[in-house]
Chains A and B, each alone.
Chain A
Amino acid sequence: MSEAPDNLKYAESHEWVQVDDGVATIGISDHAQDALGDLVFVEVPEVGATFDAGDAAAVVESVKAASDVYSPVSGEVIAVNEALADAPELINDEPYGEGWIMRIRMTDDDELDNLMDAEAYAARVTDDD
Chain B
Amino acid sequence: MTEPLIFEHSRPGRRAWAQSPAEQIDVDLPDELARTTPLGLPEVSELDAVRHYTRLSQKNFSIDTHFYPLGSCTMKYNPRACNTLAMLPEFLSRHPLAPENCSQGFMACMFELQEMLKDVTGMQGVSLTPMAGAQGEFAGVAMIRAYHDARGDTERREILVPDAAHGTNPATAVMCGCVAREIPTDDNGDVDIDALKAALGPQTAGIMLTNPSTLGVFERKIGEISKLVHDAGGLLYYDGANLNAILGKVRPGDMGFDVIHMNLHKTFSTPHGGGGPGSGAVGVSKRLLPFMPIPVVGKTDQDTYRWLREDDLPQTIGRLSTFMGNAGVLLRAYVYARLLGRDGMHRVAEFATLNANYLMARLSEAGFDLAFERRASHEFIITLKRQNKAVGVTATDFAKRLLDFGFHAPTVYFPLLVPECLLIEPTETESKEMLDGFVEAMIAIAKEAEDDIEQLRGAPYTTPVRRLDDVRAARQLDVKFEPAA
Chain A positions within 8 Å of B, measured between CB atoms, are: 35, 38, 40-41, 61, 63-65, 67, 88-89, 129
Known contacts A63-B470, A65-B413, A129-B389; is A40 also within 8 Å of B475 by CB? yes
CB distance from A37 to the nearest CB of B (A): 8
**Cβ-closest chain A residue relative to B389:** A129
Cβ-defined contact, A38 with B419, below 8 A: no
Cβ-defined contact, B419 with A41, below 8 A: no
CB distance from A58 to the nearest CB of B (A): 17
Give A129 to B383 CA distance when docked, in angstroms: 12
Residues of B contacting A35 in the complex (Cβ-Cβ under 8 angstroms): 419
**6 residue pairs, one from A and one from B, having the closest CB atoms:** A40-B474, A63-B470, A64-B413, A38-B471, A40-B475, A65-B416
Give A110 to B416 CA distance when docked, in angstroms: 32
CB distance from A47 to the nearest CB of B (A): 24
Choose among A63, A67, A129 the residue that contacts B474 (Cβ–Cβ < 8 A).
A63
Give A40 to B471 CA distance when docked, in angstroms: 6
The tally of residues in B whose CB lies under 8 Å from a CB in A reads: 11
CB contacts between A and B, total, < 8 Å: 23
**Cβ-closest chain B residue relative to A86:** B475
Residues of A contacting B474 in the complex (Cβ-Cβ under 8 angstroms): 40-41, 61, 63
Chain B positions within 8 Å of A, measured between CB atoms, are: 385, 389, 412-414, 416, 419, 470-471, 474-475
Residue of A64, A88, A89 with most chain B CB atoms under a 10 A cut-off: A64
Cβ-defined contact, B389 with A38, below 8 A: no
Residues of A contacting B389 in the complex (Cβ-Cβ under 8 angstroms): 129
**Cβ-closest chain B residue relative to A39:** B471
Q: What would be 20 A-B contacts, judged by CB atoms less than 8 Å apart?
A: A35-B419, A38-B470, A38-B471, A40-B470, A40-B471, A40-B474, A40-B475, A41-B475, A61-B474, A63-B470, A63-B471, A63-B474, A64-B412, A65-B414, A65-B416, A67-B416, A88-B475, A89-B471, A129-B385, A129-B389
Give A40 to B473 CA distance when docked, in angstroms: 9
Residues of B contacting A63 in the complex (Cβ-Cβ under 8 angstroms): 470-471, 474
**Cβ-closest chain B residue relative to A63:** B470
Residues of A contacting B416 in the complex (Cβ-Cβ under 8 angstroms): 65, 67
Give A88 to B412 CA distance when docked, in angstroms: 23
**Cβ-closest chain A residue relative to B475:** A40
